[in-house]
Amino acid sequence: MPSALLISYGGYPATASSLTPDNGLANLAGALAEIGYEPHIRDFATVSFMRRMFPQKLTIQLRVRAAELMASAGAPTPEQVRQLKDLDAMVGAHQQAQLELIAAEVIDEVRKLTPDFVGMKLWNGDGFTGSVFIAERLREQFPDLPIHAGGPQCSWFGESIYRRTDAFTSLTHGEGEEVIKALAENARGQRGLESIPGVIYRDGGHIVRNELGDGLDMNSLPEPIYDESVYPAMAGDEKIKIIVLDDSRGCPYQCAFCMHPIESGNRLRTARAGLLVDRMQQMGERYGVRAFRFSGSSTPGNLMARVAAEVLRRELDVIYTCFGHFRSADPDHFGLMARSGLHAIFFGIESGCQEVLEKAVGKKVDLNSVKETVLAAQRAGIFVVASMIVPLPFDTEETIRESLEFLAEVRPDSVPVQFPGVVPPTPWGQEPERYGFDVDPEELAMVGMDYKIKLLFPPSMWEPAPYRLDGMDFAQFTARTLRFAQQLEDRGILVGVPDDNALIARCAGMSARDFRDRTRLWCTIGDADAMGTMVAAANRNIVRR
């Protein structure tokens, strides 16, 4: 039987969310199974991988340093910074040595499986650097092996990846479920890359980008595969077994910072409510799973209301989260959704100033209706997450204060606060001057691909992002981000818990705040034992044994 090896190397996990199963890989495995292929998934985001990438002796040292930092007020002292930098360098050296071993293990696996091709999901930061390292080692050993890449980085940086490496036979910049079937035909010599929509490839000295296809029918997605024989990382308590369901793709709203319309088109495509509940029921019957997250970035409120009604009709015991949009959310539906098992809903607010929201983001949301929607969801018992970007283009101290007062009045259960990130294909990346960004497009692409989050340090001490906003450099505008987040905390508003984290916390029997603080610490100091204990506790409430 022909086979393919699918690899996801996301680097050292920065959050507990990294430990949830990869629905993209499971979908691709299902697509390959439909055409008679034997898929093999190698997902490195596990508790054991976290333990492997962070030696215990350094965890012990960092636990002491972390305690000192939490006990002291203000920024770390120069001596504390020096110690942290030394420890960070030791962690980096250890992880590079492990990456060498991992690449050798992947090479051995390819020799054993002799797959028709390898597919790699490219993440950012360490995930991108490590994936390229593995791909280049594979290319050295197997010069004729097709190695295809997909995932977020291919959509974000596209052709620029070929300036970084020649290891990949093609890059998929759109939806992968149909593309991977065509790549299987290509591996068997039945189809040329030039005929496959949504791929980027080298043709001699030229780079060719094929246009995207029409977009998949969401009711025709393959059935995802999470069997341990295909997806070994699903065994035991290596992963937090919350399954992501694809309810919709495409987004008609086209916010200026957002990649979703670029990755999957600006036409909203939705799956039938009955099919989505079928999938929930199937996942429960096959794998014992009762916890889910719906993936759509602008899931219509009426779709989730139909899902909720069908869950209740079938009397399913499930708990789940979803995205929402203020333009389609109906407060009258929240009671029904909560009774069906909806624990948390994620809304993007981005700004509490109507003028900035429209000018900087292009988001057609009436802030006057936001408070009513949030309160209605909270009255139904739903954990409401409302994200913010601070500072946005055109923000001033006054408009940021307006956003702060708006949130103090609305009081969501959690507010993830992000600094403004510029991604090349978005309006911010394509027309930076219009929004007040000073960007070198070439530098943005080359630096952005490998950009790493340094868990041991605050953003102001990370490598500076290669752009400025309204004359502010990275340290200056991220200082505003951190100050805004602290001001929210000072007002009793929880910061930094997205909907999936709220669900994991609920399943693990932890408060959202305790979960945030503890898992941040565990990821920072490499405490895989504590993380593993939490994962096992969550799975006891997720999986029916």
Which single residue is written with the structure tokens 């919350």?
242
**Which pLDDT score is estimated for 70?**
56
On average, the pLDDT of the chain sits at: 93
Q: How sure is the predictor about 67, in pLDDT bands with cuts at 50, 70 and 90?
A: low
pTM recorded for the entire structure? 0.94
Bigger pLDDT: 89 or 161? 161
CA 105 from chain centre, in angstroms, equals 26
Do residues 321 and 503 lie in contact, with contact meaning Cβ atoms separated by under 8 Å?
Answer: yes
Q: What is the pLDDT of residue 84?
A: 79
Of 214 and 119, the structure prediction assigns the larger pLDDT to: 119
| Residue 336: predicted pLDDT | 97
Q: Choose among 239, 416, 244, 219: nearest CA to 320.
A: 244
Question: Around 1, how many Cα atoms within 13 Å sit in the side-chain half-sphere?
Answer: 11
- pLDDT, residue 43, reads 98
User: pLDDT tens for residues 39-52?
Assistant: 999 999 999 999 99
Q: Which tens digits make up the pLDDT trace of 486-517? A: 999 999 999 999 999 999 999 999 999 999 99
User: Which domains are delineated in the chain?
Assistant: 3-54+92-209 (3.40.50.2300), 240-424+474-542 (3.20.20.70)
- Asked if 9 and 53 count as a contact pair (C-beta separation under 8 A), the reply is no
% of the chain at pLDDT higher than 90: 77
Residue 273 in this model has a pLDDT that exceeds 70: yes
Among the ranges given (286-295, 307-316, 406-415, 464-473), the one the predictor scored with the smallest mean pLDDT: 464-473
User: For 179-233, what is each residue's pLDDT tens digit?
Assistant: 999 999 999 999 999 999 999 999 988 999 999 888 889 999 999 999 999 999 9
Residue 315, Cβ density class (10 Å: 0-12 exposed, 13-18 middle, ≥19 buried): exposed
What is the C-alpha to C-alpha distance for residues 532 and 202, in angstroms, rounded to an integer?
43
Average pLDDT over residues 328-349: 94
Q: How far apart are CA 300 and CA 305, in angstroms?
A: 9
pLDDT, average across residues 97-123 = 97
Name the least confident of 12-16, 17-21, 104-108, 142-146.
Answer: 12-16
pLDDT in tens, 359-403: 999 988 889 889 999 999 999 999 999 999 999 999 999 999 999
Query: Residues 319-330: pLDDT tens digits?
Result: 999 999 887 888
Confidence of residue 63 (pLDDT cuts 50, 70, 90): confident
pLDDT at 73 over 70: no
* Cα(49)–Cα(528) distance, integer angstroms: 9
Residue 272, SS3 per DSSP: coil
Q: What is the pLDDT of residue 20?
A: 98
Residue 489: predicted pLDDT: 96
Going across the sheet that includes 417-418, the strands are 243-245, 291-294, 319-323, 342-350, 383-389, 417-418
DSSP secondary-structure letter at 361? I
Q: Where are the beta strands (DSSP E) in 289-359?
A: 291-294, 319-323, 342-350
Alpha carbon distance 485, 493 (integer Å): 9
Per DSSP, which regions of 334-436 are E strands? Answer: 342-350, 383-389, 417-418
pLDDT value of position 115: 98
Determine contact, residues 321/273, Cβ cutoff 8 Å.
Answer: no
Please, which residues have CB within 8 angstroms of residue 206's CB and are 6 or more apart in sequence? none
Using alpha carbons, select from 455, 539, 467, 515 the residue that is nearest to residue 54: 455
Backbone φ and ψ of 482, nearest 5°: -65, -40
Find the mean pLDDT for residues 328-357: 94
Contacts of 446 (CB under 8 A, 6+ apart): 160, 163, 164
Using CA atoms in the order 123, 129, 130, 134, what is the torsion angle rounded to 10 degrees?
110
Three-class SS of residue 516? helix
Q: Report the pLDDT averaged over residues 527-536.
A: 97
Helix (H) or strand (E) holding 182: helix 176-187
Q: Which two tokens stand for residue 332?
A: 């009258």
Give the separation between CA 306 and CA 273, rounded to whole angstroms: 6
For residue 460, what pLDDT is reported?
A: 66
pLDDT at 380: 97
> How confident is residue 161, by pLDDT bands cut at 50, 70 and 90?
very high
